[in-house]
Structure 1
Amino acid sequence: MSVHKQEIKRITTHQLREMKNRGEKIAMLTAYDYSMARIIDGAGIDVVLVGDSASNVMAGHETTLPITLDQMIYHAASVVRAVKRALVIVDLPFGTYQGSSGEALRSAIRIMKEAGAHAVKLEGGSEIKESVDRILSAGIPVMGHLGLTPQSIYKFGTYTVRAKEEAEAKKLLDDAKMLDDCGCFGIVLEKIPAALAKKVSQSIQIPTIGIGAGPDADGQVLVMQDMLGITKEFKPRFLRRYADLDSEVTKAVKNYVTDVKSKDFPNQDEKY
């Protein structure tokens, strides 16, 4: 009697919409390499974001601005090779879509073709509408990103909460409705008041994914290195740490160094 492996069903943008409609929260994490992407996908994550936060946590840059399209494609391709179930979304990095809609489309096509991604994410609202429309017209799924947009850090000058004032809150809500009307499949809401995130989530048809936006967004996203306790210096209020890998890895490496120095490793059972 042959035993058939249960087929793994891929998460799609349509399923994310259905999850919102039935009130099921969407779980999303970042990943930048094959090994970690394989682990979080196997653990049941719904969406994997290959974020331009790789610029910070993988390359050590102060901001997300320096990472290039080629580097994003490298990270994304590594993740796509590992993921069997989750939807894989890739950030378009700074400078690859703001200049013109034609450049935006070329950048998105490269990510889809060379990395095998399932969707792209862009930061901004009305100011990037033309780029969003152009990418969507090619059949490429687009996720928006409103609130704190890290690629605009030098414009804002701070990483504090966005849209606390009425005018900015109104623009954010208008931008969210515009992205919904354009045909985006979801929007990340970063570091905005919880009440505004709730209002946005209830005002649009597509799912919202919050980070520092309270419990009423349709899903949540964290940077994996932050929630695993690898980046200890980053301590925003919204971050919950689910492990302390900095301490665990440090302990393991120290034990390894001790065993090598003392000639305990390798022992008789660990040689050929």
Structure 2
Amino acid sequence: MHQKIIETVRTNKPLIHCITNYVTVLDVANMLLASGGAPIMADDINEVEEITSICGGLNINIGTLNERTIKSMILAGKKANDLKHFTILDPVGAGASALRTKTTFQLLDEVKFSVIRGNISEIKTVANGSGTTQGVDADIKDAITEENLSEAVAFAKSLSKKTGAVIAITGAIDLVSDEKTTYVIRNGHPIMSQITGTGCMLTAVIAAYGVANPDRILEATAAAVCAIGLSGEIAREKVEEIKGGNGSFKIFFMDAMSQMDDEQLREGAKFEIR
């Protein structure tokens, strides 16, 4: 993994336009700041194109979808494409409702994304509409395991080729893939699923890493996934030391991300390339 991905983010402080969900918006903003980026949140149709124009990247998250913001997402996405800006889609809950699934495909039809990030159920829906998403969490039957890892890697490479985007599938085992190369990442801890928004935060961090490292988006995306997972591991250790709970974990998690540097990431990243 490149030695200066995080340093480049902290030096450039990329401004990311987030059209995201209101459940996690504050945590997304703070995690972007912790990663070295900067957030701006705007979803009114009358300003999204203008806001996108002054940012380096666009993060679209459909977690609390409504008809008003769908139009804003498409307008912002097209403007970002016109400007050749980094774009990322987080299809939260795709497959859980007709509206989410329809909107996901509409966005994919009308906007070219640099990265698509979701859990395996959401990404299967992106691929063929056949995911079995339960709410916003992955159906356990869709989990990536050591036993089906080869098939999952092939699936990720195929979807990257189909969409032209880097595919990031997150879960107990994370995959970050273009059509030729897949990072298999094993950072993180189950406690991360006990607070809301770790996926939303990751998507925003990927945007910051991608904007700051435009010539190596695959590697930058993998670095972001490793960094978030490693931050979770560090936070869990500190929570155990003080016998804390979910609230303490959330604070330590953000602290770890704000203090992460390239050397720490290089030493702590757990990945193989396939």
Q: Name which structure has the greater RCO, CA cutoff 8 Å, separation 6+.
A: 2
Q: Which has the higher helix share?
A: 2
What TM-score range do you get, normalising by the shorter chain? 0.3 to 0.5
TM-score, L = length of structure 1? 0.38
Quick check: which has more Rg, 1 or 2? 1
Query: TM-score normalized by structure 2?
Result: 0.38
